[in-house]
Amino acid sequence: MKQDMIVVLDLGSTENTVLARAIRELGVYSEIHPHDITAGEVKALENVKGIILNGGENRIVDGKEVEVNPELYTLGYPVIAIDCPSAKCEKCYAKLPDKEALKAFVFDTCKAEANWNMKNFIEDQIEQIKKQVGDKKVLLALSGGVDSSVVAAMLIKAIGQQLVCVHVNHGLMRKNESEGVVKVFRDELKANLIYIDASERFLTKLENVADPEQKRKIIGGEFIRVFEEEARKLEGIDFLGQGTIYPDIIESGTKTAKTVKSHHNVGGLPEDLQFALVEPLKQLFKDEVRACGLELGLPREMVYRQPFPGPGLGVRCLGAITRDRLAAVRESDAILREEFAKAGLDKTVWQYFTVVPDFKSVGMKNHERCFDYTVIIRAINTIDAMTASIERLDWDVLEIITNRILAEVPNVNRVCYDMSPKPPATIEFE
């Protein structure tokens, strides 16, 4: 292993990630583990240089204060505790130590080396993946999103053709998006990629379905069915690759913190498809995942892709999806993205897209009455997607986009800008 490591044990702190990130900022790798980790499990982590018991307001679980396994004190690693009255070590801090104190512990007491960087992280992960997978095969649902793309690039580097990627095009992808996945992964990275164009199947299932929740359920359920059908056709798969990242684990609930929302990266695959999981990004934060992707050689636009909902353009073609309105969403979205990139807004605005509602309005084209669709532009900024404010878009940019949409997108005669913050509006319309 290339990197030294400081282990943070979660004894009910709400600041585990703050602490782990502070240590990583010192150039030393840090992982967060549950309080009840065994001595054997700590030893198996390799290159551990010290342990921090991180207590806090969630330390009482089921009426009892959480404690660590007493053998951890006898392993010979330096141990300190933060806000942790039951700890039996040297040094106890009432709250998160400042940078100098943390530096002193990490470098002077633990003698850790500042050798955490993406290159070393990738090499360590590759070594672990090879050890875990051996000569077996790994299946990966490759959506083209940041996390699954970075996992794919990492697994290709580690096990090459033993990785089988499946990309399901549900017909609700953005313009040229599936083509981009095939180009990068099959043509450039030489991945073993199965591309399934399931567009017709999804669009047929969605015909006349107007209820947003039902649309989401159909898209999610059908996705699993298509993926499962492919998985069953393949032979000798033992592992499933997943793009789980650290925030997914926290939001899904730890042993001391409550669930915010459950994350299902491949969402409810049937239990008889028994796979062991390979999750090489599960200790990374989003910005680190992007850095990892760049280091692995993925294109910038893939690594810095804005968030895109699983149900894709399906929740932006409002009400019952029709092919002409879906085409209008796809084309107008492509124009919006192109103009945002030209204006440099792709680097500053958090999320931007178009939607097409299921009504028409009267207009004039070529001196004749027309009755066509409306495109709504939405551009928002947010930190965590829980609340959002609108982008105060430059009037000239808005006009250029509007004129292009009206000139280039068939069946559209009106463009609006959505001024609504979240709350009360959500970022997506459905």
Q: How many residues bind ligand XMP (CB under 6 A)?
A: 10
What's the min distance (Å) between Cβ of 178 and ligand XMP?
17
Instruction: State which of residues 267, 309, 357, 421 lies at the interface with ligand XMP (CB under 6 A).
Output: 309
Provide the residue type at 76 as one letter.
G
Q: CA–CA separation, 142 vs 72, rounded Å?
A: 40
Residue number, 14 or 426, with CB nearest to ligand XMP: 426
Nearest distance in Å: CB 377, ligand XMP:
15
Identity at 426, one-letter amino acid code: T
Choose one: 41-49, 241-249, 286-294, 305-313; the region binding ligand XMP (CB under 6 A): 305-313
Query: Interface with ligand XMP by CB under 6 A: which range of 65-73, 233-241, 304-312, 355-363?
Result: 304-312
How near is the Cβ of 47 to ligand XMP at its closest, in Å?
A: 34
Q: Does 260 bind ligand XMP (CB under 6 A)?
A: no
What are the structure tokens assigned to 295, written together? 């280091």
Q: Does 310 bind ligand XMP (CB under 6 A)?
A: yes
Stretch in the footprint of ligand XMP (CB under 6 A) among 81-89, 98-106, 112-120, 308-316: 308-316
Contact by Cβ (8 Å): 335, 401: yes
Say how many C-beta atoms besides its own lie within 10 A of residue 368's C-beta.
7
Task: Please report how close the Cβ of residue 186 comes to ligand XMP at its closest, in angstroms.
Answer: 24
Signed CA dihedral, 406, 411, 413, 415: sign only: negative
Query: Considering beta carbons, is residue 70 or 423 the nearer one to ligand XMP?
Result: 423
Q: CB-wise, 186 or 263, nearer to ligand XMP?
A: 263
User: Does 264 engage in binding with ligand XMP (CB under 6 A)?
Assistant: no
The answer to whether 329 and 430 have CB atoms below 8 angstroms apart is no
Q: How far is the CB of 147 from ligand XMP (least distance, A)?
A: 10
Please identify, among the stretches 52-60, 302-310, 357-365, 394-402, the one whose residues bind ligand XMP according to the rule CB under 6 A: 302-310
192 binds ligand XMP (CB under 6 A): no
Paired with 422 in beta bridges are 388
In this structure, the chain runs to a length of: 430
Closest to ligand XMP by CB, 59 or 167: 167
Q: Is 428 in the site for ligand XMP (CB under 6 A)?
A: yes
- Find the binder of ligand XMP among 128, 192, 199, 351 (CB under 6 A): 351
C-beta of residue 34 within 8 angstroms of C-beta of residue 42:
no
In angstroms, what is the minimal distance from the CB of 418 to ligand XMP? 12
Distances (CA, A) of 213 to 26, 60, 422, 430: 45, 37, 19, 8
Least separation in angstroms between CB 315 and ligand XMP:
7
- φ, ψ of residue 176 in degrees (nearest 5): 65, 15
Residues 364-423 that bind ligand XMP (CB under 6 A): 385, 422
Partner residues linked to 317 by β-bridges = 356
Question: Residue 183: left (phi > 0), alpha (psi -120 to 50), or beta?
Answer: alpha
- Least spacing, CB of residue 387 vs ligand XMP, in Å: 9
What minimum distance in Å lies between the beta carbon of 281 and ligand XMP? 16
Residue 126 vs residues 120, 130, 154, 321, 413: alpha-carbon distances, Å: 10, 6, 7, 43, 53
Q: H or E stretch including 16? A: helix 16-25
Element (H, E) at 413: strand 412-417
> What's the CA gap between 404 and 207, in Å, rounded?
29
What is the C-alpha separation between 255 and 14, in angstroms, rounded?
12
CB closer to ligand XMP out of 109 and 351 = 351
Q: Of residues 134, 297, 307, 344, which one binds ligand XMP by CB under 6 A?
A: 307
Of 311, 326, 331, 336, the residue at the interface with ligand XMP (CB under 6 A) is: 311
Q: Residue 259: how many CA atoms within 13 Å on its side-chain side?
A: 4
Residues near ligand XMP, by CB under 6 A: 307, 309-311, 351, 385, 422, 426-428
